[in-house]
Structure 1
Amino acid sequence: MHVLVAYATKYGATRGIAERIAEVLRQAGLQVTLAEVDRAGSPTAYDAVVLGSGVYAGRWLAPAAAYLKTHAGALAERPTWLFSSGPTGSGDPVALMQGWRFPQDLQALAEQIRPRDVAFFHGAIWPEKLNLAERLILKALKAPIGDFRDWAMIEGWARRITAALAEA
């Protein structure tokens, strides 16, 4: 089975999550293509798709949103999983975002695609990668700085994908 793990990232945290998901899928014996959404090509070449994006101001990055819109029909025809990464800090990411799980502007598309699961993971913020305006916004928001990705949670989610694909 050939699985596409496609992602959009601004500073690399989401890439790291996608890489870990791809690694777990490969360890389970799946053939995996890992690619940024701009280079992913059509999902019709794959048996299953895992698609993720970093979240900024409650929205997916434009390349990931465009991929979802462009390929919604093809994604609906194969097992698809969606993930977002964004909040920093400790605790449940959904609770930290007051129940937010997926961008509202893409919710209708997600319902059309009928993903097997939608995950929301903690992200990471590295101040040295940010521009001045972004650093000022983070300071004003008092956003926690650092790497808050929960690798055990990410790997567990990826293992559930492998189990679902094994049953298919």
Structure 2
Amino acid sequence: MDRKVLVAYGSTNGSTAEIAGRVGEVLAGRGLDVEVRAASEVTDVAGYDAVVLGGGLYAGRWQRDARRFARRNRTALAARPVWLFSSGPLDPSASERDIPAAPGVQRVADRIGSRGHITFGGRLEGEVEGRLARMIVNSGKGGDYRDFDRISAWAAGVARELTVPAE
């Protein structure tokens, strides 16, 4: 049986969407049937066997669409395997050590019984939305701190958990 996996994301400036895309590529490469979609576009998770949900971090909070998705689908998410990821630190810290989930993300993880959470570095550069984001970029403190090797390795671990036969 093919496992159908939803990779949903909340992204304001596209960085988290690109991370979700890489997660989806890795899962599909491991034989899973994957859909990568913006969290705001998903109305129901009933057709999926598992979910990966990611959100960009903005001032320590998950992006609005990821929060709303988790709240709207809380009961359905609790009934299937779910993994969470955040993206956001604009420094190499996420590649150097495990960063705990932000408090709101941890509450989501606890409520739905997620199988795990990871924080990846973020990207903030070029034309961005939001006054604070523009200030960060204009001050020279933006950049791209995503580690796609680490993202791929994490996604491969998720795929292993989903493809190992139950004993």
For Structure 1 versus Structure 2, the TM-score category normalised by the shorter chain is 0.7 to 0.9
CA change 1:110–1:136 in 2 (3 A) is same
CA change 1:63–1:131 in 2 (3 A) is closer
Q: Output the amino acid matched with 2:114.
A: P
Q: Flag structure 1 segments of 5+ consecutive residues without an equivalent.
A: none
Q: Which moved more, 1:147-156 or 1:122-131?
A: 122-131
Q: Across the two proteins, how many residue pairs are aligned to each other?
A: 163
Higher helix share: 1
The alpha-carbon deviation at position 77 of structure 1 amounts to 0.6
TM-score (normalised: structure 1): 0.87
Contact 1:94 1:100 in 2 (8 A): no
Tell me the distance in 2 between the aligned counterparts of 1:22 and 1:154.
11
Equivalent in the alignment of 1:116 = 115
TM-score (normalised: structure 2): 0.88
Contact 1:94 1:120 in 2 (8 A): no
Equivalent in the alignment of 2:42 = 40
Contact 1:94 1:101 in 2 (8 A): no
The alpha-carbon deviation at position 43 of structure 1 amounts to 1.4
Q: SS of the counterpart of 1:129?
A: coil
Determine what percentage of the aligned residue pairs are the same residue.
37
- Residues 71-150 of structure 1 mapped to structure 2, 5 A cutoff: 71-92=73-94, 101-130=100-129, 133-137=132-136, 143=141, 145-150=142-147
The alpha-carbon deviation at position 132 of structure 1 amounts to 5.3
Moved over 2 A (4+): 91-95, 99-103, 105-109, 127-140
The alpha-carbon deviation at position 17 of structure 1 amounts to 0.2
Q: Which moved more, 1:40-49 or 1:7-16?
A: 40-49
Equivalent in the alignment of 2:18 = 16
Contact 2:95 2:147 in 1 (8 A): no
Q: Output the amino acid matched with 2:154.
A: W
Q: Flag structure 2 segments of 5+ consecutive residues without an equivalent.
A: none
The alpha-carbon deviation at position 59 of structure 1 amounts to 0.3
Contact 1:51 1:81 in 2 (8 A): yes
Answering whether residue 161 of structure 2 is matched by residue 164 of structure 1, we say yes
Q: SS of the counterpart of 2:146?
A: coil
Q: SS of the counterpart of 1:127?
A: coil
The RMSD of aligned alpha carbons is: 2.1
Tell me the distance in 2 between the aligned counterparts of 1:162 and 1:133.
36
The alpha-carbon deviation at position 54 of structure 1 amounts to 0.5
